[in-house]
Amino acid sequence: MTLTPELKAQIDAAIDRHKIFVFMKGDKLMPQCGFSNNVVQILNSLGVPYETFNVLENEAVRQGIKEYSNWPTIPQVYINGEFVGGSDVMIEMYNSGELQQMVEIALAS
């Protein structure tokens, strides 16, 4: 098991501190994979504030976040403390308009 209580607390804190938080490869200025870049482009197009964590700089988080969310891939997007999904889910939700609504609600709360 890679998700220690300390690591879980660190992930909880990051997610709780920001309305929109993304665990990704690279950061929002320099995404380092196509899927992470998709998520950054979507969030940038919505013009909303969000924070990112570069999992390439921390192997424990890179492995632990997969266990935390029970989701095998990165990027992982959290909105209002809730795991939303990765690149494919974000694209679907963006195209349907569901993501815009979710973000508006999160930022208003």
Q: What does the pLDDT look like over 95-106, one tens digit per residue?
A: 999 999 999 999
pTM of the model: 0.95
Domains and CATH numbers, the chain: 5-108 (3.40.30.10)
Tokens linked to 5:
């209580």
Find the angle CA(61)-CA(26)-CA(101) to the nearest 5 degrees.
Answer: 85
Q: Give the confidence band of 1 by pLDDT, cuts at 50, 70, 90.
A: low
Query: CA 4, CA 10: separation in Å to the nearest integer?
Result: 10
pLDDT digits (tens, 9 = 90+) for 28-53: 999 999 999 999 999 999 999 999 99
